[in-house]
Each structure stands twice: as structure tokens, then as C-alpha cells.
Chain A
Amino acid sequence: MTSTIQSILDGNRLALSRLLTQVENNTPEGREALAALFPYTGHAHLIGVTGAPGTGKSSLVNQFALHLRKDDKRVAIVAVDPSSPFTGGAVLGDRVRMRDLAGDNGIFIRSMAARGSLGGLAATTAQVVQVFDAAGFDAVLIETVGAGQSEVDIARLAHTTLVIEAPGLGDEIQAIKAGILEIADILVINKADRPGVESTERALRSMLELAHPLRQVWNHHGRRYVVDAPPGNDGSDSPLWVPPICKTIATDGSGIPELAEAVARHAAHLRQSGDWVNRERARLRSETETLLQERLMQNFRQDVPEQAYHQVLEQIFQRRLSPWEAVEILLKRQK
């Protein structure tokens, strides 16, 4: 085990790749290695990329990674695609759009199937990202499955979340609904050479203005009206982060330098405001709690005989016990 850890820290790509499989399959070896690698984590900038299917997430990740490589940053890419709910199989096709990244040792692309998880990531994506972090990658780009409105797990994992939109996908009402747009640290309108880009931008901007009101001045029937912005939201030195809107054309790379600059500004903002630490702490806490839940459940099931457990379940099926009563009975039984 120590030799595996050492090879990964030394940059051995085969050892890294094999460990990622162990971690993805949640094997005892994988968990042991995660524990050993944990002290080496906490350095990489974790950047999430999410958005509806077909908005160009993979192409954008391709261009963004190329841009980061110009600064000689080592980049890992974790690309998640859905698993079939019927067979558990998957076709992972994100690499098709990332062929420009071939042959570069500063890049490592790993495809993951969601394996039944519904939040846009796989259950072990956070752990896979942790391995890349420990292996010394400067940035980890995490591409979610094509997201609808509620695949928001990425916001809990990433430091910076990019939400990708494309022209012609929705109106202002889509933009004020709760969900995916709320988690954006940076909004990207990709395919900005397509018609409809202005109305998409207007819809997103009006959404942002509702969320982050600025000082407004307007004239109506010869009178001047002024509405001041709420405190803490009144200028460039504001501690609040208002998501910028970037326009890109991922197929030719237009707008990518501006996007990279926005991402760097967001990282600086996080560090300055203390949110970097806050996000890390919230994430580590929720990871720990998830592990605790799993372990408590396991221990509990070991303490209650299989037969007794199924008897209680059977009583629920026959409507003689409610699930609430059943839980009380099972918990008492354990003591």
C-alpha cells in the first residue's frame, strides 16, 4: 500500500489510474489509500462544469483545459455521464470532444458513469477528485451529467461552479426558477455565435438583478426615481460575488481567455472573503457525515438479526405497522 501511495505522489499514471478504479468501486484498498492520501489534499482548484445536455460542456472543458496548460498548470478532468437505469451499463462519450488534449502528460482525463446517483455526479466522484488533488494536479475540472434543474451536487463539491447555457433554451421564467442557475458562480453562454444570444443574456441578466439588486435610477413622467442597492452590494469593492456572464464559442475557443480570467477572479474572491475555507469545511463535514451514516447503518444491520428485520418489514407491507412505528421498534430492539 505505501508503495502505491508513493508511486501516485511520484506521478505514476498507471498506479493513479488503477487506484481510481479501486476508489470508484469503493473497495477496502481504495478506502485505505484515500485515508493515506488525505494529508496531501486541499491544494487543487476544483472547478465544476454543469448545464443541460448539448450546451457544449465537454467542448468547453476541452478549450478551458488547453488554456490552463498555457500556464503550465497540471489539469485533471473528471467527466460524468449517466448509467442506464435498466442495465447499469453506460456509454461515456465525453472524450470525443477532448481529442485536442491527447498526448499531453500534464492532462489526465477520467470518465465516470453515474451508477445510479441522481445529483449529477457519481457517488464516488468526490473521492476520485480527492485522489487527483493528492496526486498534485493544480486544477480538477468536473463535468457533470447533462443536468436538468436539480442536479446541484456539484456546487457542494467544487470551489467554482460554471453553469453553461446555450441560446434558445428558455425564457425569463426558466431563469427565475430555483435550482441549477442559483448554484452558478459564473454563467457561461456557449454557442454565442448562434441566434438568440441577446435574449438569453437579457434573461440571465434580469435574473441576476433580481438576486443581486444594484442601485437603480430612472425617469418617469419627468420625475427622477432612485432605488439604492441593499448594503454590501453597492460597488466593485463589495464582498458579495455577483456571477459574471461570459460568452464563449467552445468550438473555436472564443471567449475562453475571458472565462479563465473570471475563474481566477472567483478563486481570488473566495480566498479573500474566507469562503474558500468555509466551502472546504462544509464539504468535509458533509463527507464525514455521509460516511458516518453509512457506517451506523451497517453496524445497526449487524446488530439486528436478519429475520427480525424482515418480520418488521413484512408487517409494514401488510399495513399493520407504519414505517415510523417500525423504526421505533427496530431501534429499541437494538438496545
Chain B
Amino acid sequence: MTEKKIRVLVAKPGLDGHDRGAKVVARALRDAGMEVIYTGLRQTPEMIAEAALQEDVDVVGLSILSGAHLALVPRVIELLKANGQENVKVFVGGIIPDEDVDKLKAAGVYNVYGPGAPTEQIIADIRSAVTPG
């Protein structure tokens, strides 16, 4: 009962109130044996970075359906770095136009998932992202 668990913060920044996607992912990661800290709706980037710091997570998953991803996501990454957590991998899920995916990746996002992305893929990506080497 003492092995290292992958800890993931699942957060919904911004103002849209649709958290079904976030909950589906949280549940799938739980079933993959990860410890998921779920923070609920309408989180500011500051709240997300603070929670990531207190929980010492390996991964932050952001669910955004509001279209504000280009404002919110880089801000979260910036705050994580400012706190000394540049090692934390950031994933984004939601409605993200194709042309924005590259912009998010350039800002430091590990991967982006649209509607219908298989949860097995997300789980596999998280595992390979946090495994050293």
C-alpha cells in the first residue's frame, strides 16, 4: 500500500457550467488506478495552480468548453512555473478548434483532446508522460 500513485488534478477553469466531460475523465482515471483530485466548476487559473501546489500532483487536466482556452491555459502554465512546478504535465480537453491545438502545445500543453476522444488514449498518454525516461 505504499507504491507511488499518479496524482491528477482535474479542473474546470472559466465560466461554462458543463462538467460532464471532466467527470467522465475523472472516473476513467480513477478506474485506471490514479488518484484524481476534482475541484469543481468555475476555477480561476490562480485557484488551479494553488490546488496543484498543495496536492503535489503529477498532472493537471483542464476541461474547457467556453472558448477561452487561449487566455486560461497559458496563464495556468505560467503560474505552475512560477510556483516551481514546471515538471507538472498539463492536458486539455474540450471544444478546441484545430488551429488552436498547436498554439496550446507551443505554450507547453502535453496533449489536447476533443469530444469523443477515447479515455484509454488519455490514460496511456498520462502514463507515458509521467514515467521518467
Contacts and interface: CB of A to CB of B under 8 A. Distances in A.
Interface of A: 13-14, 17-18, 20-21, 25-27, 83-84, 87-93, 95-96, 99, 102-103, 108-111, 113, 115-117, 123
B119 interface: no
A111 B37 contact: yes
Nearest to B42: A99
Contacts of B53: 13-14, 17
B90 interface: no
Contact of A95 (B35, B46, B51): B51
B5 interface: yes
Contact of B35 (A13, A89, A96, A116): A89
Contacts of A117: 1
B30 A89 contact: yes
Given A25-B3, A90-B30, A117-B1, 10 more contacts: A20-B56, A21-B7, A27-B2, A88-B5, A90-B35, A91-B38, A92-B38, A95-B38, A96-B40, A115-B1
Contacts of A108: 54
Query: DSSP majority for the B interface?
Result: mixed
Given A25-B2, A95-B38, A110-B54, A89 B33 contact: yes
A91 B54 contact: no
Contacts of B5: 25, 88, 113, 115
Contact of B36 (A21, A91, A103, A115): A91
A27 B40 CA distance: 31
B56 A26 contact: no
10 contacts: A17-B53, A88-B33, A89-B29, A89-B31, A91-B38, A92-B38, A96-B40, A102-B46, A102-B50, A110-B55
